[in-house]
Structure 1
Amino acid sequence: MSHHPIRTVIGAAVITAALLVSTGCSSRNAAVSTAAATSGGGYPVTVASCGVDYTYDRAPQRVLLGAPGVVDTLDALGVGDSAIGYALADLDHGERAAHPQLTENTTDWTPGKEYLAGAAPDLFIANDEQQFSGDGAAGLDDLRSLGSGLYVLGDYCVDSTATPSVDAVYDDIDALGAIFDVPERAKTLNDQLRARVATAAALRGDQQLTAASVTIVDGTVYALTGAGYQAVLDALDLSNVFSDAGANFTQISREDVITADPDIIFVTYAGDGQEAAAVASAKTMFAGSAAVDDGRVFGQDENAFQAGGVRIIGVIEQAAKDAFSG
């Protein structure tokens, strides 16, 4: 079972070991299953997520989010005011200040039963189905008992492996467009996002480059090959030197990185002001590699991967500027 690493922020950005081993596997995800959903024909509309059909009789008005940054995608669809709170509240970097209605938040990754009942959502947009793993927290049955729908972003479901593709972003936006009955906004947004990705990819020209996406936790290196991380590399036609690592989140050694000798190293960070420290750590750890020697070690915001949706497009754009402008 492959893992989707989750970051928490306590002062400096850290990753807690418990979350690293407990977060969910990626899988197939939602499909819009009624004609009304794709044509703007109104309600009821049924949208599947992680193999379960959810029917909506009206636009959700009390939406909980699996991470604060998910609100950016709702904002882009013009429905951000429906969000009332989020899990992983420690990852808030201005979302609550920009959305005064976000008043019911939890720092937990897995929402507690009391938190969920008090919030009384009609939709939970998760960044991983295992946010409802139970184990003392709320489970899917608790969510269903409230009459709430569930939509899991990025195909991060429990039963199988997600396809690493930026298409997951477009599919999510189409599905949310159906749920909120704004299919034309979803189409317009996806057209804009596809154009942004094409512009970013065009910066590559005829360069054929290799890359590694890694995170460093207490001096230990992990290769990131999960759907979101790989989707960014694939969108830019960057060859992942650890594509055969065998899991989304795999412990490797510093020597593995140096031996693989990627042209570019992307290292994740979480939290404002943490990028420089993450890049400096990677440069020290991987000294002697081509990427370090050529000054091609760059930070990637882990919070954007947790948020998914439109923030992934921003990561692609920044990665293209970093990778192809040197």
Structure 2
Amino acid sequence: MEMRRRIMKGSAWVLSLLIVGLALTGCSAVQTGKEGNKSETGQVAVSASGKVNPEVKIVTDLVGREVKVKIPAQRIVAIGPGALRLVAYAKGTDRIVGIEDMEKKVPTGRPYMFAYPELKALPTIGQGGIDSVPDEEALLSVKPDVIFVSYLVDKAKADKLQDKTGIPVVVLSYGQLATFNDDVYRSLDLVGRVIGTQQRAEEVINYVKKSQVDLAERTKGIADLAKPKVYVGALGVKGTQGIESTQAKYPPFVNIGARNVADETGKSGSLMIEREKLVSWDPDILFIDEGGYSKVLADAQKNPAFYQSLRAVKNGQVYGQIPYNFYTTNIDTALADAYYAGKVIFPEKFQDIDPVKKCEEIYSFLLGKPVYEQMVKDYGGFKKLDLTQP
């Protein structure tokens, strides 16, 4: 009997050791990230062998739809204005399996395509463009795990596309003004969670937000009446426009607290003004969106008296801005435009900023490559403009 009790006691002790050992082994696997899905924190879920181990999860997209998606998605497509750009910011271009024809054939204006030219070699998944409709057959042909889409569909159309293709459709958004907006941040976070790069998405969001804080802090406390009056013209709206095309609450000006004369209208967004209004505003500094610069220059040659009546033209205070709205907002260029405008309008507050170097820093962080020189080839870059010369 005594022997049996010793054996039973010893067996129980061994069993306890085994249980504790197994528990510690399980804890170690979770801590080292060898098992379990880590996509919620931005890490790719992997098995003990190092293979991707996707899990079906439910995400809520920007129109409030709950979508079941295998996370992290390995094969993705991004259609509609701005969708591919957000994937590029989130470092997901290696997962892209096809792009829109518009992204291939229109060579200018989109830094993400300069940074990732290899995307042009991928299969075509539709026409692309603001007024296009998704090409279901082309999308199916590349067998994506998920379709990211912005602007082309509403809630009902997204459901219809998902039902027809059998592929999860996740709707993204840039928000109403399509620049520095909570919807942009939510979309970036969503892309990161779906493809397993949430940490990178958070880094991008934080970078943009910190840049905005930096811009605002530099001019904080300057009274409006102590600021020069500024105007930006030739902003593109469904094509190139002339000097009359402007924007109230122009984001690069808002970021630096500039005194935008167009804000006096009490409106926000794109505006077409009468020339007489620009004369009455008579801004101290004039910015020209270089997408429409050739149109403004041609107009200045035809109507020199009008331009010579403007204080900014007479005083040589006309500057070029790189257009940032192309297939919706290039957030990188918009940030760079804000720093350049700050340097021009408030030079004493931006003494430490070299606009070109800052622009390259922004492109390098958001896209991994400095592409300012390629934008210069297309538009001209940050420089003074002369509207008095033929």
Higher strand share: 1
Instruction: Report runs of 4+ in structure 1 exceeding 6 Å deviation.
Output: none
Q: How many residues were matched structurally?
A: 270
Q: Does structure 2 conserve the Cα–Cα contact (< 8 Å) formed by 1:77 and 1:185?
A: yes
| Same amino acid, percent of matched pairs | 14
Whether 2:242 is the aligned partner of 1:222: answer: no
TM-score by structure 2 length? 0.56
Aligned in 2, Cα 1:320/1:241: closer, same or farther, shift over 3 Å? same
Equivalence for 2:77: 63
1:49 shift after superposition: 0.8
Whether 2:172 is the aligned partner of 1:152: answer: yes
Equivalence for 1:208: 227
Q: Does structure 2 conserve the Cα–Cα contact (< 8 Å) formed by 1:174 and 1:187?
A: yes
Instruction: Write the distance in 2 (CA, Å) between the matches of 1:212 and 1:307.
Output: 20
Q: SS state of the match for residue 249, structure 1?
A: strand
Bigger Rg, which one: 2
**Which of residues 269, 275, 284 in structure 2 aligns to 1:263?**
284
Equivalence for 1:317: 339
Instruction: Write the distance in 2 (CA, Å) between the matches of 1:300 and 1:282.
Output: 20
Equivalence for 2:49: none
Structure showing greater relative contact order (alpha-carbon pairs closer than 8 Å, 6 or more residues apart): 1
Q: Does structure 2 conserve the Cα–Cα contact (< 8 Å) formed by 1:223 and 1:245?
A: no
1:118 shift after superposition: 0.8
Letter in 2 for 1:222: S
1:301 shift after superposition: 0.9
Whether 2:271 is the aligned partner of 1:253: answer: no
Q: Does structure 1 conserve the Cα–Cα contact (< 8 Å) formed by 2:216 and 2:255?
A: yes
Letter in 2 for 1:194: K
Aligned in 2, Cα 1:230/1:166: closer, same or farther, shift over 3 Å? farther
Instruction: Write the distance in 2 (CA, Å) between the matches of 1:266 and 1:55.
Output: 47
Q: Does structure 1 conserve the Cα–Cα contact (< 8 Å) formed by 2:288 and 2:318?
A: no
Aligned in 2, Cα 1:155/1:50: closer, same or farther, shift over 3 Å? farther
Deviation per residue, 1:142-163 (Å, 9 max, x gap): 422323423333114xxxxx59
Q: SS state of the match for residue 88, structure 2?
A: helix
Equivalence for 2:354: none
Aligned in 2, Cα 1:107/1:47: closer, same or farther, shift over 3 Å? closer
**Which of residues 152, 161, 182 in structure 2 aligns to 1:143?**
161
Instruction: Write the distance in 2 (CA, Å) between the matches of 1:200 and 1:305.
Output: 25
Aligned in 2, Cα 1:209/1:169: closer, same or farther, shift over 3 Å? farther
Alignment map for 1:119-198 (pairs within 5 Å): 119-120=139-140, 122-126=146-150, 129=151, 131-132=152-153, 139-144=157-162, 145-146=164-165, 147-156=167-176, 165-198=180-213
1:311 shift after superposition: 4.1
TM-score by structure 1 length? 0.65
- Structure 1, unmatched stretches of 5+, are 1-35, 157-161
Bigger drift between 200-209 and 117-126 goes to 200-209
Instruction: Write the distance in 2 (CA, Å) between the matches of 1:291 and 1:74.
Output: 40
Deviation per residue, 1:66-91 (Å, 9 max, x gap): 24x75454333221223321364354
Aligned in 2, Cα 1:164/1:212: closer, same or farther, shift over 3 Å? farther
Instruction: Write the distance in 2 (CA, Å) between the matches of 1:198 and 1:305.
Output: 26
Equivalence for 1:10: none
Q: Does structure 2 conserve the Cα–Cα contact (< 8 Å) formed by 1:197 and 1:317?
A: no
1:305 shift after superposition: 7.0
Higher helix share: 2
1:63 shift after superposition: 1.5
Letter in 1 for 2:274: S
1:167 shift after superposition: 4.7
